[in-house]
Amino acid sequence: MTTTQRLDSLRAQRAVVLGGTGSVGEHFVRGYLAAGAEVIVPSRTAEKAAMLLGDATFAGPVRAPVARVGDYTSFAGARDTADAIVAEHGEVDHVVVALGSWWSGAPLWNVDEDTFEHFFTDVTSAYIASARAWLPILPAHGSLQLVLGASGIVPVPGASIISMAQASLVMMRRVLAEEAGARRRIFSIVLGNLNLRRRGWSREDFVDADDAVRVSLGLAAGSQPSADVVLRKPDQARAAIREFTQ
């Protein structure tokens, strides 16, 4: 089966991208839309949803995503969001979770409580809430994909709480995979520095976000078992594309 034939299977499928209004998540929104999937993007604010839906680059052959405004990061909000999306649109095949943002600026002993709560507690809780809400209702062929940062596997001085949060989420995925066994496919896509569309500049030693999306699509369309996929460097991304999309 060719790569095109495999990805064609996504045309009959539905994906939810949590964090799809963000600078990383929007790449996944575009990639799944381009593959022909129906894409639903929860947003906590109407303003961010409008910004995504109003993007002129969705005009033409690439249809726009469907937005749903409301809380999806608390335990109750994530469950309500999942239930509402399935009730309105039908079964969801793939869920991509790309939440949080970068922070650095102080050694751990100088991190204040508010910063810790925002970048560690809130982010990890949102990922856990998403996994709790979606994993039990995904089909066996589907996938839960956690988009994480390489600071979770490589310590970054001055960014302790980010490294700690991402490390906990890498382990969360591994525990979930052990608990779910072959019944569910659960991946982490662990990313290094990224070239992002919204930045307007790029570096050769950064991973192209669209390459990470190609890996995600290959995982969604394939039958690979649960795994961590590390894309810290461009050559790792190219190797993963060859492995998961051929």
pLDDT digits (tens, 9 = 90+) for 61-77: 567 899 999 999 999 99
What one-letter code names the amino acid at 141? Answer: H
pLDDT digit string (tens) for 224-246? 999 999 999 999 999 999 999 87
Work out the angle at residue 65's Cα, subtended by the Cα atoms of residues 2 and 28, and round it to the nearest 5 degrees: 50
pLDDT at 52: 84
| Domains in the chain, number | 1
> For residue 24, what pLDDT is reported?
96
pLDDT value at 6 more than 80 = no
Q: Is 171 helix (H, G, I), strand (E, B) or coil?
A: helix
Q: What is the pLDDT of residues 19-36, one digit of tens each?
A: 999 999 999 999 999 999
Rounded (5°) CA angle 165-166-170: 120
The reported pLDDT for the residue numbered 1 is 43
In this prediction, residues 186-211 reach a mean pLDDT of: 96
Spatial distance between the Cα atoms of 191 and 63, rounded to a whole number of angstroms: 27
Beta strands in the chain (DSSP E): 14-18, 38-43, 66-69, 94-97, 143-149, 186-191, 194-195, 207-208, 227-231
Q: What pLDDT sits at residue 4?
A: 53
Domain of residue 46, residue span: 3-245
Are 226 and 245 in contact, with CB atoms under 8 Å apart? no
CATH code for the domain of 125: 3.40.50.720
| Of the candidates 190, 194, 141, 198, the residue with the CA atom closest to the CA atom of residue 170 | 190
- With a cut of 70, say whether residue 2 has pLDDT above it: no
